[in-house]
Structure 1
Amino acid sequence: MAEQEQTRWNYLMDMDGVLVHEEHPIPGAEDFLAELREREIPFLVLTNNSIYTPRDLRARLARSGFDVPESAIWTSALATAKFLDSQRPNGSAYVIGEAGLTTALHSIGYVLTDREPDYVVLGETRTYSFEAITRAIRLVESGARFIATNPDSTGPSREGLLPATGAVAALIERATGHKPYYVGKPNPLMMRSALRALGAHSESTLMIGDRMDTDVRSGLEAGLQTILVLSGISTKETAERYPYRPTKIVNSVADLIGQSTNPFAES
């Protein structure tokens, strides 16, 4: 623990369940971010949601009372674009998704097309089209490589659950027999790309999240210390069902106020 106490920590943190819950701010979260800014502690807000650009998410967070710059927001769409740029620069893709994904792919010089694309890239959208899914199936069957931004099978809405990227990817996989490569959490690739964006090393970075199966797992597999908050989907009881454990469990990030430079100190 002495080593941890001397470390200058960098923070990666999930958005939903950590900072906000259905766009309502979690009590104490803005005070925690204010402390990070005041102490000049580097941080990135991560999300598996590929719908929005960092500019969109900055505006959404601002409406909830958070001051988070675009440069401090990292999405599965950005991670997917970085991955594709490293694999096949200046390639082409057939995309099912919204502005967050298409903007990220355009920014790396990708051509978006439905004619012999290098990749079919599946992301989040509120309006999955049967026609678009059918086109994706035919392109994958014809040889396009299949990429999905994240494996989340459902997403929240005010009316209840919505089918998300993972559910639609399963449909395409069942129809074609081809599995997608998922870039977002829990793939540690998402964490490593975030570390590069932050200019940080895994040994001095921690991941805060509300899900054991994505946040804690991806942090663990990327070599980070992890903090599970109980302000989202997980409880102490559900956390105990997993074969791995977070470094620390707290009720919410409000419990870390005053401890941001030494989050693993005995309280």
Structure 2
Amino acid sequence: MDRPQIECWLTDMDGVLVQENQALPGAAELLAQWRRKDVPYLVLTNNSIYTARDLSARLRHSGLTVPEDRIWTSAMATADFLSNQVESGTAFVVGEVGLTTAIHEAGFIMTETDPEFVVVGETHTYSFESITKAIRLINNGARFIVTNPDATGPSPEGVLPATGSIAALITKATGREPYVVGKPNPMMFRSALNRIGAHSMTTAMIGDRMDTDIVAGMEAGMHTVLVLSGISDHAEVLKYPFRPNEIISGVHELLDVPLADMESGDPDTAGIA
């Protein structure tokens, strides 16, 4: 599949559109290009802490206009998955407002009493009490679901333990492996495609990680574009037995008009759709 055949786009957020809350070169212009052409797209993130409205506001502060209905989080994908498993189910949730809001909006009741599911997501306030409850409920038969597999997350002071680390602790205590909804599970991408009515054969995925964005995009049957503006470089690509369809330095290379021409106001190219 060649890029001209692409009708819809999925894109990762961190390392692709933003880096440390600063918009990356070409990100604002690419989003504007998609809006101008009425191209269906979604911005994806494995972060389950924030609601789509929160993330839209954070991106706006970085200079990027992304409406909340164009954001798809691992929390939203998890809620979508759960709603397809049972109707109006029950869950014990370890996570922040992004996850609890999504599960509530999917029609679930959150309870500590004999829930059908234990759902673990990202939070900066993991407690021994909540983890103990999760372990006991799973031992009593609740199904174990995790929003994403990331073992660590970034902070100004260094790495933080993330969802995958807590899930590993619970697995060690229960002997039960969770079902992980977020990247690199292509389930998250398929639910995103359904959200915008897209088909994998005419959709591209932009990401900065070979082990999540690219492998999941490939397994979902999409055209994959690796940007080198985030965590990966050419040496990283060589570590994997698969390859993205394209490798570019950043999203500015996806613009119809070169970023330099936009910034210079070249009358022969500026504003071309």
- The answer to whether TM tops 0.5 is yes
TM-score (norm 1): 0.94
For 2:96 and 2:195, the matched residues in 1 are separated by: 22
The 1:59/1:93 distance shift into structure 2, 3 A limit, reads: same
1:263 is matched with which residue? none
Runs of 4+ in 1 over 2 A off after TM superposition: 3-6
TM-score (norm 2): 0.92
Larger radius of gyration: 2
Matched, 1:225 2:223: yes
1:16 is matched with which residue? 14
The 1:127/1:5 distance shift into structure 2, 3 A limit, reads: closer
The 8 Å contact of residues 6 and 204 in structure 2, kept in 1 or not, is answered as: no
Report deviation, 1:228.
0.3
Identical aligned residues as a percent: 59
For 2:119 and 2:200, the matched residues in 1 are separated by: 28
The 1:250/1:259 distance shift into structure 2, 3 A limit, reads: farther
Q: Greater CA deviation, 153-162 or 202-211? A: 153-162
User: Structure 1: which 5+ residue stretches go unaligned?
Assistant: 261-267
The 1:240/1:66 distance shift into structure 2, 3 A limit, reads: same
2:158 is matched with which residue? 160
C-alpha deviations, 1:132-185, integer Å up to 9, x for none?
A: 111111111111100000001111111111111011000000110000000000
Q: Secondary structure at the match of 2:144?
A: strand
The 8 Å contact of residues 115 and 142 in structure 2, kept in 1 or not, is answered as: yes
* Equivalences, count: 258
For 1:5 and 1:233, the matched residues in 2 are separated by: 23
Matched, 1:68 2:52: no
For 1:6 and 1:213, the matched residues in 2 are separated by: 26
Report deviation, 1:9.
2.1
The 1:131/1:27 distance shift into structure 2, 3 A limit, reads: same
Match of 1:196 among 194, 197, 201: 194
Mapping 1:1-267, distance limit 5 Å: 4=2, 6-258=4-256
Report deviation, 1:22.
1.7
CA RMSD of aligned residues (A): 1.3
Report deviation, 1:4.
2.6
Q: Secondary structure at the match of 2:155?
A: coil
For 2:20 and 2:160, the matched residues in 1 are separated by: 14
The 8 Å contact of residues 95 and 120 in structure 2, kept in 1 or not, is answered as: yes
The 1:20/1:6 distance shift into structure 2, 3 A limit, reads: closer
C-alpha deviations, 1:114-135, integer Å up to 9, x for none?
A: 1100000000001111111111
The 8 Å contact of residues 209 and 232 in structure 2, kept in 1 or not, is answered as: yes
Report deviation, 1:32.
1.4
Q: Greater CA deviation, 54-63 or 33-42? A: 33-42
For 1:70 and 1:237, the matched residues in 2 are separated by: 35
Letter in 1 for 2:43: V
Q: Greater CA deviation, 136-145 or 29-38? A: 29-38
